Structures are given as structure tokens and as C-alpha cells.
Amino acid sequence: MTGRVTPYLNFGGDAREAMEFYQSIFGGTLDITTFADLHRAQDAGQANLIAHSMLKGTTGVILMASDVPKPGERKSASISVALGGDEADLTEYWGRLSEGGTVTVPFAKSPWGALHGQCIDKFGTTWLVNVTAKSTA
């Protein structure tokens, strides 16, 4: 059996905006199901909230997310999304993810030789980006 870990992010009413933002960075397809689609909206204010969404980015990035249906119930989890590899796209991803957010570790050469940075994006998701040098061997 092969396992896969996929980040599942929770938002307090802005999951659609966040997932569309991530799609603008990672490309690919975004599937969205609202509480109304599932006939699970408890009131009109919940109808357009996201019950489940999945982004399948063009380079293999997969993210899932939903809105917490009741305001104030967003659970804060100690989670960071780590993005790594040797692709030049990761440098662009860093710039877009950190724009409008808070850089907690500047994107620079790390002691282990990779370009590395950490940020909290404008939706509150913590990202760790690590770009390794391509092997010439």
C-alpha cells in the first residue's frame, strides 16, 4: 500500500478565496463543493461556504480545504505546509505566497545550502519553502 499525506486546511469563511489564490500560484484544477451542494447548510449564511475543496496543482501540489461552518469555530492547528524540491518554480511560489503575508524567515541561502524561507500567507497558512540545487551528476 502506498500512502500520501495531503494538507487539509480550515478557514473561517474565506476558503474559496484562499483556494483560488493557491490555484493562481500552483495552477491545475480546483474542485469546490459548498454546504448547499450537500444540502447541509444550517442557514442561508452557510450555503456558499466550502464544505470541501481540492486543488490538484500542475506540478503535483495537492491541497484540500473547507470552511468551518460557524463563525468563531475555526480551529487553530499547529501545522505548516512544506514545499520543497529543485524546481525554479518554487522561488516564484515563495514570492507569491509571501506577498501580503508575513515573512518569518527571509528567503535566503540556508546553512544546508538550499534557498529557504518561511512565511504566513494572507490567509493565515504557514509555508516553509526549500529549494535545493539541482544535481549535476
Residue 105 pLDDT: 97
Range of the domain at 50: 8-67
Count: domains in the chain:
2
**Which amino acid is located at 6 in the chain?**
T
Residue 131 pLDDT: 93
pLDDT tens digits along 34-49: 999 998 878 888 889 9
Q: Domain ends where: 45, 67, 89?
A: 67
- Residue 124 and residue 85 share a domain: yes
Residue 31 lies in a domain: yes
- β-bridge pairing 62-67 and 8-11: parallel
Kindly report the CATH number assigned to the domain that includes residue 108. 3.30.720.110
User: If we measure between CA atoms, which residue out of 29, 26, 51 comes closest to residue 38?
Assistant: 51
Residue 129 pLDDT: 96
Determine the Cα–Cα distance for residues 1 and 107; give it in Å rounded to an integer.
36
User: If we measure between CA atoms, which residue out of 19, 102, 20, 103 comes closest to residue 63?
Assistant: 19
- Residue 54 and residue 22 share a domain: yes
Higher pLDDT, residue 130 or 133: 130
Higher pLDDT, residue 43 or 120: 120
Question: What pTM was estimated for this model as a whole?
Answer: 0.86
pLDDT tens digits along 59-93: 899 999 999 866 566 555 568 999 998 877 899 99
Determine the Cα–Cα distance for residues 43 and 10; give it in Å rounded to an integer.
20
- Residue 85 and residue 61 share a domain: no
Band (pLDDT 50/70/90 cuts) for residue 5 is confident
**Mean pLDDT of all residues in 3-24:** 93
